[in-house]
Amino acid sequence: MVTRNGDASNRMAVYLEDLENMTCALFSAELVSQFNTFLLRNNVEPTVMVVQMFKSNFYLEETSIQSIFHSSQILLNLNYPEVKQFRERIQ
């Protein structure tokens, strides 16, 4: 993201589908780097992102989730049984 002053920022907004088009904001350089590295793999499968230690925010009748700097984690395309079941349902 770029701030109002034109400076680069270590933030990223991710728009999640099938969850009421919820917005997910990543506020950590480490999380942004992890997500960008995953996206650059040219993976053609649907991405399943599990987030831990995020806070919810309700503003102007829209819900979003936001990372909490050092305590938040994102886990992408894990081999959890629930993720496998989800992938089988959408294929």
DSSP string spanning 18-80? SSTT-EEEE--HHHHHHHHHHHTT---SPP-EEEESEEEEEETTEEEEEE-TTT-EEEES---
Domain count across the chain: 1
Q: Is there a domain that residue 5 lies in?
A: no
Residue 78 has pLDDT above 60, yes or no: yes
Rounded to two decimals, the pTM is 0.65
Closest CA to 73 of 48, 46, 54, 47: 54
Residue where the block lists tokens 């990223």? 12
Could you tell me the residue range of the domain that residue 21 belongs to?
12-90
pLDDT, tens only, 10-59 = 666 776 665 566 777 777 778 888 888 888 886 667 778 888 888 888 87
Q: Is there a domain that residue 44 lies in?
A: yes
Mean pLDDT of all residues in 66-75:
82
